[in-house]
Amino acid sequence: MRIIVIEDDASTGALLVQLVKRLWTNTSVYLASDAASGLEQWRDHGADLILLDWALPGMSGIEILKQIRRADTTVKCVMISGHAERDVILSARAYQVDAFIVKPFNAKQVMARLGEIMALPEPSSPSPATGHFESFEDFIHFQMNKGTLGLPIDPALVNSIEGMRTATAGERVRVLRRCQFHPALVFRLLSLANSGQYVQGMESVETFENAIQAVGLDGFINLAVEMSLHPGSHLRQEFLIAHQNKYQRDGLALAEVIMKLSATLSFSFNAARSACMLYRVGELSLLQVMQAWLDLGYSLSEEDCTATLKAYSAATGNRIKTQWNIPNTIRGRIGAAHLLPSGTVKIDALVMRIAHLLLTNDTQHELPRLVARVGLTETQLDQYRPNAIKDERLNEAVVDDESSAE
């Protein structure tokens, strides 16, 4: 089956693609951000289903629908619109629209409606994208090179995020406070905020606060739902969850060290805090891959998990950042924590590396040299070390909003 999604809003388009992939695993999906490219795809390759936005730059969705219906009355067409007025819906129906979905929409309801329209069951035999791998290593390489890497995310948190549309202002603040310390949400939000649709000028968006201002609340909600639809995003295996908690604790602990250092040193604190949340992005992405493997019915031992994390974390971290087009400025901060490039003089990179060494209780000579370079003394180091972070603190903020300043 071939599906075309014509949607100029990046977050909505990404969500719609994930919804149809979740419904029909083996389908071919083309995402067009404008009317011209969407129509070109349809004319050149055809489609079984077309999802099109009402308001598109250059040509409206209703004009696209008119052109399609002049040539093809069998292809299924679904209109997506932020308008629910009766005359708008009747206009679409006049050109044989198969469904009219109003934004903001509920993902599960959209999936149910699309399933009704197409009346196509999931294929009974798995394709190379969903099964029949010779080994787990083959599956990892497939996900890294031909699939799409994701990050684990708690369905309960996604439900809270979806509820923000009808929540009070105070409830929204509390949910967003949790979200700014969640690796999957920080990662996906920064990736979209730095995409061509949102980025302005040469400066990268490096903070959760600036990213959500750029993307908007509806866009952020769409991203959260989209991330939750990636295979393996919901960890169920206990040893995978244990690793996830550890890696999230590492990010929070690193952010705590960064917070303490910001009292003495001058650097871009909020940007460094975002990098801390992505400190273990390679390991977390691998956990998602492992859960996806288990969800396909394969087995994986705790020993296999540990060996996989050791062997593939660095490569997976680099690959997921490339797949999602994370800017070099953000990648540089994350990378500096793990390995400081030779000759680095930027204070932000030095701080990230110092925080990592403090977190890991470095006993070599690198830490004394680095703290001297930023004007600190070894006798001051103990005051910057992190406190123990327990699992119950994973859903709490480490840094108060009032102290979050560049």
Burial of 16 (0-12, 13-18, 19+ CB in 10 A): buried
Helix (H, G, I), strand (E, B) or coil at 205: coil
Q: How many CB atoms lie within 10 A of CB 39?
A: 20
- Note every long-range contact of 121-125, with CB atoms under 8 Å and residues 24 or more positions apart, other chains counting: 122/23, 122/24, 122/25, 123/24, 123/25, 123/26
pTM of the model: 0.85
Helix (H, G, I), strand (E, B) or coil at 30: strand
Residue count (the chain): 406
**104 touches 165 (CB < 8 A):** yes
Residue (of 215, 203, 213, 185) closest to 329 by Cα position: 203
Report how far apart, in Å, the C-alpha atoms of 233 and of each of 2, 91, 154, 294 are.
25, 39, 8, 12
- CB contact set of 127 (below 8 Å; sequence gap of 6+): 25, 26
pLDDT of residue 288: 97
Query: For the chain, what are the domain ranges?
Result: 2-118, 131-406
Structure tokens at 399: 């840094």
pLDDT of residue 388: 65
Could you say which DSSP state residue 74 is in?
A: S
d(CA 163, CA 184): 18
d(CA 78, CA 76): 7
> What are the pLDDT tens digits along the chain (406 aa)?
999 999 999 999 999 999 998 888 888 999 999 999 999 999 999 999 999 998 888 888 889 999 999 999 899 999 998 887 787 788 888 888 999 998 888 888 899 899 999 885 554 444 444 557 889 999 999 999 988 899 999 999 999 999 999 999 999 999 999 999 999 999 999 999 998 777 776 789 999 999 999 999 999 999 999 999 999 999 999 999 999 999 999 999 999 999 999 999 999 999 999 999 999 999 999 999 999 999 999 999 999 999 999 999 999 999 999 999 999 999 999 999 999 998 899 999 999 999 999 998 876 678 888 999 999 988 888 888 887 655 555 555 444 443 443 3
The yes or no reply on domain 131-406 and CATH 1.10.10.410 is no
pLDDT of residue 181: 93
pLDDT of residue 365: 77
pLDDT of residue 395: 52
**341 touches 349 (CB < 8 A):** yes
Cα 200 to chain center, whole Å? 21
- Give CATH superfamily name and number for 2-118: Response regulator (3.40.50.2300)
Structure tokens at 284: 């977390």
